[in-house]
Structure 1
Amino acid sequence: MCHYADAGINCTVHLQSVDLYQFRSFPDGHFEFCPGVNVFFGPNASGKTNLLEAIHVLSNLRSFRSRNFRELIVWSKKNASVRGVIQDRGGNRKQLAVDIQPHGRIPLLNAKSCKQSKDFLQIMPSATFVPDDLSLVKGAPAFRRYFLDKSVFHFYPPYWALLTDYNRVLRQKNTLLRRLQQGHGRQGAEEACEVWNLQLQSLGTKIIVQRLLFLNSLKRQLAEVYARWLGDEETLDIQYKSGIDSDMKELQTIMNPLAGGNIDDLSAIVLEGYERALRRAMAREVRQGVCVVGPHRDDLDLRLRGRLLRAYGSQGQQRTAVLALIFAGVELYHERYAEYPLLLLDDVGSELDTQRHAKLFDYLQQGMQVFITSTHRLNLGEHELSFDLSTRKGPVQAGATDPF
């Protein structure tokens, strides 16, 4: 079994163990992990991805497979839970838990309900790759906004409050727009909309600026990751697509020399474009009964050799791009905090050729805690702990593992 000293791992958050109760295919189960690479292997339907999903839920308070919490609970049961013990950055042990009910979940820290999700989400950050999930490339814009917002939050925690306040004001404006659409409250409507617009402009500008600053850093890491061991000579780029009336090339020009530079100039240009876009959209918003301009409608474009990946990329190229995006975020997190998030990889080996496969496994030895699924043993080295899920009968115990 590997230990911190053996693995040469500087203390990041380490998930030491997980207990499952009525989660997916596990009536119950107990797993103890090493701080290096943990491999869940076995044939299809043996529970590999379910275990990975449970760790994801413990980190993110949501599944990467379904928004329906009922699906996470063993059939005919009323609730489920995922409980974990972590060692934090200071070497302290903490107990995390997510109690799952058909219509929601309750996060707990050290057996006490965690009142604000944002506090729980900062405890054990993670990055997850699932090969069948191409939503980051060709799914609805909401998937890419979630990826972006979650990422920005981990680099700028006040972002959570910005989003919360923005969504509150957005709901209030949409309520007014629906009334106007139905022919109610026409008198004074323009003044009322202006009140909400001023708040949306202020909050929305801050959100967009934080997104742009994050993406400016991510673009650099994405190019390096893709060129180093994923993309050969191809170039992968990510671009922010906004409905505000601002020139994105002008914004990019401002950000390029921005090594902690002039955010005020960037904010001023975004705000001016936001104001123009809202004025231009007023009649359309009244017709549709909904606000059509702002960060809640913005999107990301991934481009390979300058071509839109979701339109022109093969499925293999799209999967490789998602993998590169995940690892670019991991590297950016490490650059910022000198530690790694948990890395969750579902059957990633099947997506890579032999050369890239070897580069990936070298990368995983850098000192991060990794959870990876496979149909077979991977034999990644002395700092690997493998779990054979094909042998389980009822509860899965740590004794069913084979440490390397």
Structure 2
Amino acid sequence: MYVRQLELRDFRSWPKLELGLERGVNLIVGRNGFGKTNIVEAVGYLAHLSSHRVNHDAPLVRAGAADARISVTTVNQGRELTSHLLIKPHAANLAQINRTRLKTPRELLGITHSVLFAPEDLSLVRGEPAERRRYLDDLIAARTPRLAGVKAEYDKVLKQRGALLKNASQTLRRGYSDDDGASALATLDVWDSQLAALGAQVTSARLELLADLEKYVVDAYSAIAPESRPAKVTYHSTVEKTVNSLVGDDEPVTTEILEAAILADLGKVRQREIERGTSLVGPHRDDLILHLGQQPAKGFASHGETWSYAISLRLAEFNLLRDSAGSDPVLILDDVFAELDAERRRRLVEVAAAAEQVIITAAVDEDLPENLGGTVVQRFSVVTEDTENGRISRIADGR
């Protein structure tokens, strides 16, 4: 797969951009703050319906504009499709493929596959569990777009259940001896049932993904850091102990078992949840545990090992999507070479050179590894221009 054309309107610092891209390595160079990362962020946003830099849409719309638009034309095994996304910071986003309006932007998932590696990826190793859960969920959505809807429904139920626990805490504490308390507890029972059913599907999808992903992570880390301790990934669930009590050593963990375990544990912690006003059980509290040898990478990995692990997770994502879809995702390397030592730069370029299309951003040529050399098929230079409406980005004449 490769992106043939990218068009932006009022996306971050770009009032307008029309960029033709080619197979092979496309290089975008510009000083920090000039807007080069905004270009690759747009491709990643269309692929995953989320940004690697912010958690909500408002910053994506250029100051003073009502909305922003991303259009990406991809070619996948000879088939060309153009995806359009209208980003509205205070209303629902709108999407279409070619000239067909879609019911929901989630229908864009699976059209553009991209894997983006950025300096922010260090948080996959050093950061909070939410970063690793998002890594898993984005990859699940890329492989099986239908499951993105399941995760979205789970998040809605979790939010409404949390609102009940927080706002009706005093009523819930009265219990069944009070009519209002009994009614509130009955409502909580309904939310428990929905949370367990949807949460079981989310957890099952993560476990299935990890079973496929683990060998890719192990192989990628071994190739990047052969002198280091071996990598290993495991999934920690809030219902792990209960699940283990329900299945034998060789029995598969089914969605039904996960649902029963979540319901059972919700019952055990109900009083604590009412007292604390928050949901304590479910995949929203799970974690992907990254190991190096016998120790967790978080807190025990050196700086170099942390970078190697972050790269390995993205390369594992790339190779899994390649094997699953039968074509290469677009590989995006956003300003990462400046952070890597010479050996890791060389190894990353070796991997990138084999991809159908790579988009690389860099602040200066000195950040680029020597073996990138003649692999670049196209180069763009990003500059800024001061206007009466503020500073904007543009592609320099002559590139």
Q: TM-score, normalised by structure 1?
A: 0.82
Equivalent in 97, 110, 123 of residue 84 of structure 2: 97
Question: Does 2:281 correspond to 1:298?
Answer: no
Instruction: Find the residue that maps to 2:298 and give its secondary structure.
Output: helix
Q: CA–CA distance in 2 between the matches of 1:334 and 1:130?
A: 20
Number of the residue aligned with 2:15:
27
Instruction: Find the residue that maps to 1:311 and give its secondary structure.
Output: coil
Question: Does 2:30 correspond to 1:42?
Answer: yes
Q: CA–CA distance in 2 between the matches of 1:29 and 1:209?
A: 41
Q: CA–CA distance in 2 between the matches of 1:195 and 1:269?
A: 19
Instruction: Find the residue that maps to 2:233 and give its secondary structure.
Output: strand
Number of the residue aligned with 1:385:
377
Structure 2 counterpart of 1:75, one-letter code: A
Structure 2 counterpart of 1:203, one-letter code: L
Gaps of 5+ in 1: 1-11, 256-261
Question: Does 2:388 correspond to 1:400?
Answer: no
Q: CA–CA distance in 1 between the matches of 2:289 and 2:150?
A: 23
1:23-67: CA deviation from partner (whole Å, max 9, x where unpaired): 333332221111221111233334322222222223233322223
Question: Does 2:351 correspond to 1:363?
Answer: yes
Q: CA–CA distance in 1 between the matches of 2:255 and 2:21?
A: 45
- Once the two structures are TM-superposed, the CA of residue 228 in structure 1 deviates from its matched residue by 1.3
Equivalent in 220, 227, 231 of residue 222 of structure 2: 227
Number of the residue aligned with 2:195:
200
Number of the residue aligned with 2:335:
347
Q: CA–CA distance in 2 between the matches of 1:254 and 1:384?
A: 52
Q: CA–CA distance in 1 between the matches of 2:66 and 2:38?
A: 18
Q: CA–CA distance in 2 between the matches of 1:342 and 1:398?
A: 24
Q: CA–CA distance in 1 between the matches of 2:79 and 2:112?
A: 13
Number of the residue aligned with 1:141:
129
- Once the two structures are TM-superposed, the CA of residue 234 in structure 1 deviates from its matched residue by 1.9
Q: 1:131, 1:319 within 8 Å by CA — same for their partners in 2?
A: no
1:3-402 matches, within 5 Å, as: 12=1, 14-89=2-77, 91-103=78-90, 105-178=93-166, 180-183=168-171, 185-187=180-182, 190-246=185-241, 263=252, 265-267=253-255, 269-374=257-362, 375-376=364-365, 380=372, 384-390=376-382, 396=394, 400-401=398-399
Instruction: Find the residue that maps to 2:69 and give its secondary structure.
Output: strand
Q: 2:154, 2:198 within 8 Å by CA — same for their partners in 1?
A: yes
CA 1:390 to 1:290, structure 2 compared with 1: closer, same or farther past 3 Å? closer
- Once the two structures are TM-superposed, the CA of residue 383 in structure 1 deviates from its matched residue by 5.0
Q: 1:226, 1:236 within 8 Å by CA — same for their partners in 2?
A: yes
Q: CA–CA distance in 1 between the matches of 2:248 and 2:360?
A: 40
CA 1:286 to 1:31, structure 2 compared with 1: closer, same or farther past 3 Å? same
CA 1:165 to 1:392, structure 2 compared with 1: closer, same or farther past 3 Å? closer
Structure 1 counterpart of 2:229, one-letter code: E
Q: 1:24, 1:71 within 8 Å by CA — same for their partners in 2?
A: yes
- Once the two structures are TM-superposed, the CA of residue 101 in structure 1 deviates from its matched residue by 3.5
Of stretches 217-226 and 57-66 in structure 1, the one that deviates more from structure 2 is 57-66
CA 1:193 to 1:153, structure 2 compared with 1: closer, same or farther past 3 Å? same
Q: CA–CA distance in 1 between the matches of 2:34 and 2:135?
A: 29
Q: 1:201, 1:271 within 8 Å by CA — same for their partners in 2?
A: yes
Number of the residue aligned with 2:389:
none
CA 1:294 to 1:189, structure 2 compared with 1: closer, same or farther past 3 Å? same
Q: CA–CA distance in 2 between the matches of 1:129 and 1:388?
A: 19
Q: CA–CA distance in 2 between the matches of 1:63 and 1:168?
A: 20
Q: CA–CA distance in 2 between the matches of 1:220 and 1:253?
A: 24
Instruction: Find the residue that maps to 1:223 and give its secondary structure.
Output: helix
Q: CA–CA distance in 1 between the matches of 2:160 and 2:383?
A: 55
Q: 1:387, 1:400 within 8 Å by CA — same for their partners in 2?
A: no
Give the length in aligned residue pairs: 381
- Once the two structures are TM-superposed, the CA of residue 300 in structure 1 deviates from its matched residue by 1.8
1:132-153: CA deviation from partner (whole Å, max 9, x where unpaired): 4433223333222221111112
Q: CA–CA distance in 2 between the matches of 1:172 and 1:45?
A: 39
Structure 2 counterpart of 1:204, one-letter code: G
Structure 2 counterpart of 1:380, one-letter code: L
CA 1:142 to 1:251, structure 2 compared with 1: closer, same or farther past 3 Å? farther
Number of the residue aligned with 1:6:
none
CA 1:324 to 1:153, structure 2 compared with 1: closer, same or farther past 3 Å? same
Q: CA–CA distance in 2 between the matches of 1:276 and 1:69?
A: 37
Instruction: Find the residue that maps to 1:17 and give its secondary structure.
Output: strand
CA 1:120 to 1:268, structure 2 compared with 1: closer, same or farther past 3 Å? closer
Q: CA–CA distance in 2 between the matches of 1:291 and 1:45?
A: 40
Q: CA–CA distance in 2 between the matches of 1:74 and 1:192?
A: 42
1:82-127: CA deviation from partner (whole Å, max 9, x where unpaired): 22222234x2332222223443643332244432222112210211
Gaps of 5+ in 2: 173-179, 386-391
Structure 2 counterpart of 1:400, one-letter code: G
Q: CA–CA distance in 2 between the matches of 1:324 and 1:207?
A: 24
- Once the two structures are TM-superposed, the CA of residue 392 in structure 1 deviates from its matched residue by 7.2
- Once the two structures are TM-superposed, the CA of residue 320 in structure 1 deviates from its matched residue by 2.4
Number of the residue aligned with 1:9:
none
Q: TM-score, normalised by structure 2?
A: 0.83
